[in-house]
Structure 1
Amino acid sequence: MKTIDHITISTDETKKKIEYMTTLKWDDTSLDERVATGEEIEFCRDMIKREMPTRDHLQLKIPDITFTHKMEIDLGGITCVIEHVGGVHADDSCIIYVPEAKVMFLGDCIYQDFYSGDWSYDQQQLTILLEKIKKYEVEHYVTGHQDPKTHDEMWSFFDDLTSIGEMVGEETDLHQAVTKFHEVRKAPPTEEQLEYIENFISGNRKTMRNS
């Protein structure tokens, strides 16, 4: 944001997080120390080092404009509706919807929680998130890490993910969950589906630990 040097927008929650991050040091030693204390995870530490080998120039900029739930921006013929939707990946995740183009930018909101142990999904939170996404009339979705998807492509994925979560239910045993998947689908899970089964199981285990 500092490099682009334009007006920036975030949720109130994101602003607070960035304000805190401005108090941190970003050299290798400081990053390693935060991993050791559990404040940072190895994955993010390693990506920061790889993508930004030197960080002497790094200056974090506080967002200029903030909102709580939703805001609409008129760009002159194009409108951007920004809504805070949350999700397990980051509780301050937002979507951006452009009604004139029927395009939605999902960013990373649909991805797993990887900041608290094993990568995981929570079925209840996923359902809430998808309900927020579903209420918009969208023809194309743009995610953070894949090619743009048509409406049918995106919801085929969402439906499969939801179905897997429902099959896993409250199960915490991988073998039992895979057996149930095989019984329901009459076929073993693909490598990707197996990963999602493991994600929901991890989410159930986290719920049990925290209850």
Structure 2
Amino acid sequence: MIMHAEHDTDRPILAAVLGGRRTLLMDAGNSPAHAELFREELSKRGYRQPDILALTHWHWDHTFGMSAWNLPAVAHVETANALASLAGLDWSEACLEQLVTEGTISKESAADIRKEYGEERTITLMEPDIIFKDRITLDLGGVTCELVHVGGDHSEDSCFLYVKEDRILFLGDALGPSVYGGPRKYSSTGFLGLLRLAYNYRAEWYVESHGIPMNEEEFRKDLSSWERMARVVDVFGHDRERVVLEMKTFLKIDELPEDLLQGLEYFMAGTK
């Protein structure tokens, strides 16, 4: 079961994977309030509450709800390191401004934290209990989940979560551009590598944390233009005009749509 993303305060998808013995929660939510909404939804539907938590990466919108669940949490070693580095902060205005200045979070994230938590911000960070480096398999009882470290521009600790029996691949934000520490950017080569990893699963459903679930055909179609652009950038690098020309020819259009123009800037930034 999933609860869809909400974009007003950057709440990602939360998912509960139900097995015969255990329920796994994918990501904790961006706040205790977000976590409580999902807990209530599970109760309304008569589903077992989560027994274990798996984190796709450390970013605030995926982890700041951990204290509301109080579950044993599984995470990549770099996720654990990042959360440990944030422990003890008071999340005051001065703190937020410092985190933005040093590139730990973005201005957009700081604004969303303000909206989600208000002026009196009590944020309790939890550290994971089970740490892995490459991959870890979790048996829920007839349902097997594999958490795999894939990295990427968005966050070096990014992981895929694959539900084998249901053939559902939760991508987290791994296919997103970098959002912290400078301008947003994509490495075309890195992006294509992550796409290959995702496609190799041949999953029935692909779920990105801030998008909508798609079947394999929809997912490939949705990303076809981005994949083509990444391949063109891989060949022509800094030649922005050539990339634009190649994309117009490929799409048979006179002007690129706004989302692809934005994506082009991310890929151009990634070539520097």
Same-fold call, TM cutoff 0.5? yes
- Written as runs of structure 1 = structure 2, the 5 A alignment for 1:52-201 is 52-54=117-119, 56-169=121-234, 170-172=236-238, 174-187=240-253, 188-201=255-268
**Deviation (angstroms), 1:54:** 4.2
Unaligned runs of 5+ in 1: 206-211
Inter-partner Cα distance in structure 1 for 2:105 and 2:252: 41
Counterpart of 2:269? 202
Using a 3 Å threshold, how does the CA distance of structure 1 residues 46 and 100 change in structure 2: closer, same or farther?
Answer: same
Q: Distance in 2 between matches of 1:120 and 1:72?
A: 31
8 Å contact 1:26–1:55 — kept in the other structure? no
User: C-alpha distance in 1, partners of 2:121/2:183?
Assistant: 32
SS state at 1:3 partner = helix
Distance 1:38 1:92, change over 3 A: closer
Q: Choose 176-185 or 4-13, whichever is displaced more.
A: 176-185
Shift of 1:184: 4.0
Between stretches 58-67 and 46-55, larger displacement belongs to 46-55
In structure 2, stretches of 5+ residues that fail to align are 1-65
Q: State the shift of 1:50 in Å.
A: 1.3
Distance change (3 Å), C-alpha of 1:116 and 1:58: closer
Partner secondary structure for residue 111 of structure 1: coil
Q: Distance in 1 between matches of 2:250 and 2:128?
A: 48
Taking only the aligned residue pairs, the percentage that are identical comes to: 28
CA distance in 1, matches of 2:248, 2:203: 33
TM-score (norm. length: structure 2):
0.70
Deviation at 1:181, TM superposition (A): 2.2
Q: Stretches of 4+ moved more than 4 A in 1?
A: none
Amino acid at match of 2:81: K
Task: Check 1:55–1:81 CA distance in 2 against 1; reply closer, same or farther (3 A cut).
Answer: farther
Scaled by the length of structure 1, the TM-score of the pair is: 0.88
